[in-house]
Structure 1
Amino acid sequence: MSIVVRDVREHELDSVLALNNAAGPAILPLDAARLRYFFDRAEYFRVAERDGSLAGFLIGMGSASDHDSSNFRWFCERYPNFFYIDRIVVASRRRGGGVGRAFYADAQSYAELRYPQMACEVFLEGTNDPVLLFHGSFGFREVGQHVMPEADMRAAMLMKQLCSHAWVHETYGDALPKLPWVLQPRVASAPLAQRPTGTCS
């Protein structure tokens, strides 16, 4: 069956929470309040469906957000404009079946119209070589490492250049065509012209 990627619905938050907290040590745990924070603030919060059931989710923030993650702030201190993947979770029974690649393709399609780079991190505790390999095969490169003070965990900080962004920005500026597949942010955010170009908000 095909994979369907779409915006999360409020009634699915309990299922998303359970999925996150069953993901293992590679993903920081959440509580209901923290998940609501993401639901209310995240620019990109989408789920994947396969065979009619929830197969995973991805949460992303633009660099103009006031996200409080120390990893996000690390990128903010070094890069002026980027799309940040806070977390991606794929249900254990669906791993290796293309759900992660479907998410990244969808997130990139969204981000490259608006941002020159995508950022994320991979925890280096334990055996995360498969996760690093996945990101490397998708074009991410390590640009540094950071120890999260809130979790005392070291992460590889990864960045991917979005080659199409320059052409889109030069051709359309801040007025993207009104096409159904050109998704608008889930939550109100600053227009492109008002996004900070030196530091995050």
Structure 2
Amino acid sequence: MSIVIRDVREHELDSVLALNNNAGSAILPLDSARLRDFYENAEYFRVAERDGNLAGFLVGFGSDADHDSSNFAWFKARYPNFFYIDRIVVASRRRGGGVGRAFYADVQSYAELRYPQLCCEVFLDHGADPALLFHGSFGFHEAGQNVMANVDVRASMMTKELCSYPWVHATYGDDLPDLPWVGRPRQSQPRDSRATGT
């Protein structure tokens, strides 16, 4: 069956919270208030659906966001314009089935029209080799490391240049064409008309 990537729906937040908090030590836990903040403020908050079931989610923020993550702040202190993947979670039964790759293809398609760089982190203290290899296969490289003081977790800070951005920006500036597959940043639209990524 195919994987569908689409914007999260409000009634799915409890399921997203359960997915996050059952993901293990490679993902920081969330509470419902923090997840609600993501829902209301994240530029990109999409879920994967496979065989009619929720298979994962990805949350991301542009560099101008008012986001209080220490890893986001690390990137903000070094790069003027970027898109930050705050977290990606794939249900354990779906790992290795292409859901993560579908998310990264979708988020890159979204980000490369708006930002020159894609950023994320991989926690290094919990068997990071599969995640590092996954990100490396997508063209990410380590730009440094950060120890998250509030949780004492060391992270590999990863970046990827988005090679389409210079041409898109030189051609369209901030006025992207109104095409269904281009979509619009979540904050500039009513929730029911936000980008679908299709």
Structure 1 length normalisation: TM-score? 0.93
Query: What is the aligned partner in structure 1 of residue 87 from structure 2?
Result: 87
Deviation at 1:165, TM superposition (A): 0.2
User: Is 1:49–2:49 an aligned residue pair?
Assistant: yes
Farther off after superposition, 148-157 or 179-188: 179-188
Query: What is the aligned partner in structure 2 of residue 73 from structure 1?
Result: 73
Query: What is the aligned partner in structure 1 of residue 171 from structure 2?
Result: 171
**Aligned-residue CA RMSD in angstroms?**
0.9
Larger RCO (CA under 8 A, 6+ residues apart): 1
Instruction: Measure, in 2, the Cα distance between the counterparts of 1:172 and 1:165.
Output: 10
Q: Which runs of 5+ in 2 are unaligned?
A: 190-198
Q: Which runs of 5+ in 1 are unaligned?
A: 190-201
Structure 2 length normalisation: TM-score? 0.94
Residues 64-123 of structure 1 deviation map (CA, whole Å, 9 limit, x = unaligned): 001000000000000000000000000000000000000000000000000000000000
What is the identity percentage for the equivalent residue pairs of Structure 1 and Structure 2? 76
Deviation at 1:186, TM superposition (A): 1.3
Instruction: Measure, in 1, the Cα distance between the counterparts of 2:177 and 2:185.
Output: 14
Query: What is the aligned partner in structure 2 of residue 160 from structure 1?
Result: 160
Query: What is the aligned partner in structure 2 of residue 132 from structure 1?
Result: 132
Query: What is the aligned partner in structure 1 of residue 118 from structure 2?
Result: 118
Instruction: Give every structure 1 segment of 4 or more consecutive aligned residues whose post-TM-superposition deviation is greater than 2 Å.
Output: none
User: Is 1:15–2:32 an aligned residue pair?
Assistant: no
SS at match of 1:175: coil
Paired residue total: 189
Instruction: Measure, in 1, the Cα distance between the counterparts of 2:79 and 2:173.
Output: 20
Query: What is the aligned partner in structure 2 of residue 193 from structure 1?
Result: none
SS at match of 1:80: coil
Query: What is the aligned partner in structure 2 of residue 32 from structure 1?
Result: 32
Query: What is the aligned partner in structure 1 of residue 194 from structure 2?
Result: none
Residues 34-54 of structure 1 deviation map (CA, whole Å, 9 limit, x = unaligned): 100100110000000000000
Query: What is the aligned partner in structure 2 of residue 186 from structure 1?
Result: 186
